[in-house]
Amino acid sequence: MKWHWVNDDLQNESMWLSHAIPDSLYTAIMENLHSRGFYHYGTKEIDGTLSFDLPGMCSMNREYRQVEVDGLTIEIPCTDWEYIYDKLLARKERDDANLPYYKLHGFNRCIVLTPDQRDEMLKQMLAQMVEVNAQREIENRAWNEAKANMPGAVVADGPKDAQAALARAKAEGKRTTLLVGKRPVKDDIGEA
């Protein structure tokens, strides 16, 4: 199937996300976007892989896994996989021009899926979940260890722990240069 990449030509001057749209939904989705004021765009055919992740801190050397949906390869970082799966599973079906579809929003992009495409993506993601979660654990442990060993780092589990950790460092006369949130791992909190 042909997939369209519709992007905002105004880039940072607009609130619109770029959209990956299957050919079967292209006209209906574009009419919907136009009805909501989205006119400044460029469109091209997606050729290859679409990277899909969440906003937040960028981590180098992240492992990605892929799903293939009607000719579109979607790659997702292992650290975002389960969250994206849960979000897609919880999405409510939309309907424009009697064409049902789902929208999944990520960082600066949105994937539009037919119900069958959504089901296929969920099936493929679930099939890889055990392997992906194991990789996520490895990456989260490495993140926590690397950040804990940085000079001046204060590693905290949340806002209250962060305040306490900063107060302890100040009382000890230590200069803190970095506040890092721990990523959950099963040893730390029982069940991540």
Q: Is residue 72 part of a domain?
A: yes
- Domain span including residue 24: 3-132
* Number of domains within the chain: 2
Alpha carbons 167 and 74: distance in angstroms, whole number = 44
With residues binned 3-state (H G I as helix, E B as strand, rest as coil), the percentages for the chain, rounded to 5, are 40, 30, 30
Q: What is the CA radius of gyration of the chain?
A: 20
Identify whether 102 is part of a domain.
Answer: yes
pTM reported for the whole predicted model: 0.78
Does 61 score more than 60 pLDDT?
Answer: yes
Considering the domain architecture, whether residues 92 and 175 belong to the same structural domain is answered as: no
Q: Is residue 141 part of a domain?
A: no
What whole-number percentage of the chain has pLDDT above 70?
Answer: 74
The pLDDT > 90 percentage for the chain reads: 43
pLDDT mean over 15-38:
88
Model pLDDT, residue 191: 39
